[in-house]
Copies of this chain bind each other. A is one copy, B any other.
Amino acid sequence: MTTKNTAILLISCPDQKGLVAAIADFLYQHNANILHADQHQDAELKLFLMRVEWDLAGFDLDLNDFEQEFAVTATRFQMQWRLARSAYRPKLAIFVSRYDHCLADLLYRYQTGELNCDIPLILSNHTDTQWLAEAYQVPFQHIAVNREDKADAEKTQLALLRHHHVDFIVLARYMQVLSADFIRHYPNRIVNIHHSFLPAFHGARPYHRAFERGVKLIGATSHYVTEVLDDGPIIEQDVARISHRDSLDDLIRRGADLEKIVLSRAVRWHIENRVLLYANKTVVFD
């Protein structure tokens, strides 16, 4: 996989006539070779969202000057916007407890280049997954978390994250609830996998409850973490059909496959700057 050298512009603003013309003109004036453009208009909220990606070869504006140059357009249309470069590999920290299927899956995809990021750190409240970290040569830190010293553990975690300049966090079946204070350090930058089709079975032991309820499909949901448990914006979900022949263990086993797929999609989309947020929802320009 060769690294692309592209810029990605993400825009969110009130919908208004002339928006697309203004953005397209700006890019054309600077000789941008647009590779992908996707936009969405929310008719009810009168909101406009856009993702546009262009080749930096031939683009005649230094990206360091982009903000200043784009400011007139951005202000005129009250844009919230962000510029990203595909060449920048965001720094990901993975939090994990004992279940290792999502970790193993992410590491494999990282190793093959499917996930275009760096992983400077795996943090765990257990040591069970250390062997995997070592197999993929990723630094591993064990930080025990107990009820009484949770605040201290989070302090240590935050220090490590800062030290490694971590851009975003993935909770790969991390079984501890993060404090609101911790979450505020990484707003919309903590991606979780929940092992149910949210909002069904939020909270603890979703497979057990799905089994008891007798549902005919199980699900997995990847979402950004907010202060309300399992309530953040959903990035991706998927389901698998089950039947009475499936025991609780079968649900857990089959769910693990769902979790891996759903989480890895969400992580890839986050890395590739494909996720925009509004109204506690996501737009995924995939």
Interface residues of A (CB under 8 A from B): 17-18, 20-21, 24-25, 27-28, 31-41, 43, 100-101, 104, 108, 112, 114, 135, 197-201, 212-217, 219, 233-234, 236-239, 241, 243-245, 247, 253, 257, 261, 279-284, 286
**Chain B residues closer than 8 Å to A281, beta-carbon distance:** 213-214, 244
**Chain B residues closer than 8 Å to A28, beta-carbon distance:** 17-18, 20-21
**Chain B residues closer than 8 Å to A279, beta-carbon distance:** 212, 214
B35 contacts A24, CB within 8 Å?
Answer: no
A245 contacts B40, CB within 8 Å?
Answer: yes
Copies in the complex: 4
Partner of A41, one of B36, B41, B212: B36
Docked complex Cα distance between A108 and B36 (Å): 36
Docked complex Cα distance between A39 and B34 (Å): 11
B283 contacts A244, CB within 8 Å?
Answer: yes
Chain B minimum-CB-distance residue to A31:
B17
Docked complex Cα distance between A233 and B197 (Å): 18
Give 21 pairs: A residue, B residue, CB < 8 Å, sorted on A.
A17-B32, A17-B33, A20-B24, A24-B24, A25-B25, A35-B41, A35-B43, A101-B112, A199-B213, A200-B200, A213-B234, A214-B280, A214-B282, A215-B237, A216-B237, A217-B239, A241-B241, A243-B284, A244-B281, A244-B284, A245-B286
Partner of A21, one of B27, B100, B199, B280: B27
Shortest Cβ gap from A86 to chain B (Å): 14
**Chain B residues closer than 8 Å to A40, beta-carbon distance:** 244-245
Docked complex Cα distance between A35 and B20 (Å): 12
Shortest Cβ gap from A122 to chain B (Å): 16
Docked complex Cα distance between A33 and B257 (Å): 32
**Chain B residues closer than 8 Å to A100, beta-carbon distance:** 112
Other A-B pairs, 6, CB within 8 Å; known A24-B25, A25-B25: A21-B21, A21-B28, A38-B38, A40-B244, A199-B201, A216-B238
